[in-house]
Structure 1
Amino acid sequence: MMLGEREMALNVVIMAAGKGTRMRSALPKVLHKLAGRSLLSHVLGRAAELGAQRTLVVTGHGAEQVEAHVGAAATCVRQEPQLGTGHAVQQTVPALDTAHATTLILNGDVPLIEPATAAALAAACGGERLALLTVVLQDATGYGRIVREASGERVLAIVEHKDASAEQRAIREVYTGMMAAPTALLQKWVMALNNQNAQGEYYLTDIVAMAAAEGVPVVATQAADEVEVLGVNSPAQLADLERRFQRRQAEALMNAGVRLADPARFDLRGTLTCGQDVEIDVNCVFEGAVTLGDGVKIGAHCVLRNAVIAEGVVIHPFCHIDGDKDGVSVGAGSLIGPYARLRPGAQLGAEVHIGNFVEVKNSTLADGAKANHLAYLGDATVGERVNFGAGSITANYDGANKHRTVIGHDVHVGSNCVLIAPVTLGDGGTIGGGSTIAKNTPPDQLTVARAKQVSLAGWKRPQKKR
């Protein structure tokens, strides 16, 4: 959601300098992940959706890691040392573009603000007013309180929790740490801040009193949902926000007709597109971009990443489907698992069966092919109606290079066979169980390659010396 033409002139400042002591981690707080993406990545995405002309990220603790993570997505400005939120914005003053009349300030550890809420906040500023994003909380501990005039309309100040009186701490409307201000005035106000407070820090919230003293209107817009403004300061808060976010995603899917066995045991860490009558059992994880066709059934404890699953597919419990960059596709009516693994480049046709403890990597299986037990297919092209026996593998790696195995249509590969690539098995052929195949085999013939069975009379097993 982008701002209208009048509000398009927009700077976005993302506060990402904090140490996050309570996370008890060497990783900067804003790089911890929510739903598979860093907290900061979520907020950078919001800035992009708003169509910001200039996005600045204030870094400090772990600056090099954070800046490497940001890359070309924004301009980074360092805050060293970290002397409060007002001091952080002071560092951005030379980089703010006053041609962009509004500056929107977001927090790198508050990842779930909705684009509509951020856009409304910027629009409330309109380059003329100081706009604050607030929310009403049952427990406002730790948040800056919104102090209004007697009528309750005009905002007079924000008082930090540690500096608030008992009467002020009773206020339930709190400042979320996000605001939008006229850029030129913001530059002037933050440079006039002082640190005469209990913590000896420069509070960005002090600009509210400055605006009120100058007669600049101070307005407040409220977030529709508490989840939008919850920050992360500890592993417990991160876990709580993860579950809240996952519940929201689960409800959206169920509203679209997806049947989740238990929405409390569901994780989406990317995008999930579902057809009609999709069923998903408990403890399934979806990462990257996953598409499920009509009537797909996903068993318990499955992980799917970057995969396209066609209609009518059944994926039994405990399967791992990881398309990574190359993707995985499963054709209509196929049966997968349980305990199967499909790796990048696995492309399965219709009615393919991949059974328990079978692994497929960078291989194409045509319609009706089956590998039902304890097998490995790597770098292989498998024809229609092939039956690949239990314990059989394609030996695709010679220690330096990968080679391909081509299996023709209607081939039957017996149990415990090794196909040493590069090798081609002719259409309709049969490979006897226990064979090691290193040469191409003819079509429609039985090929057996195993040592002659020998029994040695009188042989005794070696004994340990006593």
Structure 2
Amino acid sequence: MSLDVVIMAAGKGTRMKSARPKVLHTLAGRPLLQHVLEMSAGLGAERLITITGHGAELVETEMRAALPAAPLAFVRQEPQLGTGHAVQQAVPELADAGTTLILNGDVPLVRPQTARALIEACGGEKLVLLTVVLDDPTGYGRIVRGGVQGDRVLAIVEHKDATPEQRAINEGYTGMMAAPTAHLRRWLANLKNDNAQKEYYLTDIVAMAEAEGVPVVATIASGETEVLGVNSPVQLADLERRYQRQRADELMEAGVRLRDPARFDLRGELVCGRDVEIDVNCVFEGRVELGDEVRIGANCVLRNAKIAAGAVIHPFTHMDGEAAGIEVGEGALIGPFARLRPGAKLGAEVHIGNFVEVKNSTMAKGAKANHLAYLGDAVVGERVNYGAGSITANYDGANKHRTTIEADVHVGSNCVLVAPVTLGAGATIGGGSTITKDVPAGQLAVARGRQACLNGWTRPAKAPKKPAE
């Protein structure tokens, strides 16, 4: 059966007090609308039709870039004359039959299970509303039910119009539904705007369905969080915390030890082995894999990184693998205050210490750079000891060049290795050297000015101050 998904995303979001369209504000590192589109893409829909308005060009451009393989379509609502008017703009994109699922672009956490339940309940024949049961449904339209078992929806009564008895109903309408496409096309064509706001309301199709004898039923959401919308920075922050707590609970239920789930941020995908420990204020972006018994210290940021079993990432370490990724081997010790950049591939038992930066470099088993150093575009062999303050000068102003440091090399403190250059196995580089030529295996290389001591030299002294007149 044909399935179309229509997502309403035309609103300006005035209460966000932002020049950026509301649906492009981010939750867990991704735009609100992207969450909805990604979930919808997994439903097998023929088309994902987004209704844009405010900032339409920016919204459409960013979503096409984020989901290049999805069956996206965009229609614009200009001017914006209500929810019914919005969906009317999507009619030319809809199939002639099947089911249309209508979602909101600022409600990012609707679960796939809930969406599928709506689609299945519709079956191309019924109008199905997504509702939620709340302790306090203030502001929600109330669902008035009827039928032998209360399984039919008779009406949606707006809060401001509800009687005291109707306000006591704790089931509210979320603004999302699934409808038989053929009926929906007809109902939308018959909408009227004879109301105080002169707008076309999507909810008016409930009365049309009832009048035609089309069953109107409801599917109840799992809870408030999955149907919460975002209209202000306060609501966005609240939803962020709810989302992060859900992810934290899932990880802890799988065995991950989080020092404080209230201070945890997942903005991508995190895959954990057994006995993983994560301290407070850590941020995970892109795809991060943590092997068995990995320990992540406080205040770390990890993006697109794979950390092997037993590695320890000390506090305040920053890893950003971008597209190239980062790999850290078994038992490695990283940080504190270390920075790993794209293409860093560290072997087992590698040590990277405080204020060390590694970019596009491989380091073999047991290699160490423990203090204040830079390794860029380098190949580092086993058991290399790379001294404090040393750097690879890999850029000549136009091109990058590689440095090769073979096994068991010892690089003294405060050295500059001017690439391209190779240090042979077992070589030693004297502290303070600037190395511009290859060093043979096993040899000592020293490249610095000769030290001189001047007898009889005295340190300059300040002239005595003149007395005040």
Is TM more than 0.5 here? Answer: yes
Paired residues of 1:370 and 1:388 also in contact (CA < 8 A) = yes
- Describe the SS at the equivalent of 1:267: strand
Letter in 2 for 1:125: C
Tell whether 2:134 aligns with 1:137: yes
Tell whether 2:8 aligns with 1:15: yes
d(CA) in 1 for partners of 2:198, 2:291:
58
d(CA) in 1 for partners of 2:289, 2:392:
29
Over 3 Å counting, the alpha-carbon distance change for 1:381 and 1:460 in structure 2 is same
Paired residues of 1:396 and 1:420 also in contact (CA < 8 A) = yes
> Partner residue of 1:313?
311
2:393 to 376, 391, 395: 395
> Partner residue of 2:345?
347
Matches within 5 A, 1:129-208: 129-149=126-146, 152-208=150-206
> Partner residue of 2:278?
280
> Partner residue of 2:37?
44
* Identity fraction in percent: 74
- Describe the SS at the equivalent of 1:264: helix
Aligned length in residues = 458
1:126 to 93, 99, 123: 123
> Partner residue of 1:3?
none
> Partner residue of 1:338?
336
Unaligned runs of 5+ residues in structure 1 are 1-7
Over 3 Å counting, the alpha-carbon distance change for 1:16 and 1:462 in structure 2 is farther
- Describe the SS at the equivalent of 2:348: coil
Deviation per CA, 1:270-310: give whole Å up to 9, x if none: 11111111111111111111111111001011111111100
Paired residues of 2:282 and 2:300 also in contact (CA < 8 A) = yes
User: What's the TM-score, normalizing by structure 2?
Assistant: 0.94
Deviation per CA, 1:325-345: give whole Å up to 9, x if none: 000000000000001011100
Higher alpha-carbon deviation: 124-133 or 160-169: 160-169
- Describe the SS at the equivalent of 1:301: coil
1:235 to 227, 233, 236: 233
- Describe the SS at the equivalent of 2:41: helix
> Partner residue of 1:35?
28
d(CA) in 2 for partners of 1:242, 1:290:
20
d(CA) in 2 for partners of 1:352, 1:193:
68
Paired residues of 2:2 and 2:95 also in contact (CA < 8 A) = no
Q: Quote the offset at 1:159 in angstroms.
A: 2.5
Unaligned runs of 5+ residues in structure 2 are none
d(CA) in 1 for partners of 2:319, 2:266:
14
Letter in 1 for 2:348: A
d(CA) in 2 for partners of 1:81, 1:30:
18
Q: Quote the offset at 1:164 in angstroms.
A: 3.9
- Describe the SS at the equivalent of 1:82: coil
Q: Quote the offset at 1:214 in angstroms.
A: 1.1
Paired residues of 1:163 and 1:198 also in contact (CA < 8 A) = no
d(CA) in 1 for partners of 2:289, 2:337:
21
d(CA) in 1 for partners of 2:40, 2:243:
19
> Partner residue of 2:99?
102
- Describe the SS at the equivalent of 1:56: strand
- Describe the SS at the equivalent of 2:262: coil
d(CA) in 1 for partners of 2:211, 2:295:
63
d(CA) in 1 for partners of 2:325, 2:447:
36
Over 3 Å counting, the alpha-carbon distance change for 1:93 and 1:181 in structure 2 is same
> Partner residue of 2:218?
220
> Partner residue of 1:251?
249
CA-based RMSD of the aligned residues comes to 1.8
Letter in 2 for 1:156: L
Letter in 1 for 2:85: H
> Partner residue of 2:326?
328
User: What's the TM-score, normalizing by structure 1?
Assistant: 0.95
Tell whether 2:358 aligns with 1:360: yes
Deviation per CA, 1:43-80: give whole Å up to 9, x if none: 11111110001110000011001111222531000000
- Describe the SS at the equivalent of 2:235: helix
- Describe the SS at the equivalent of 1:442: coil
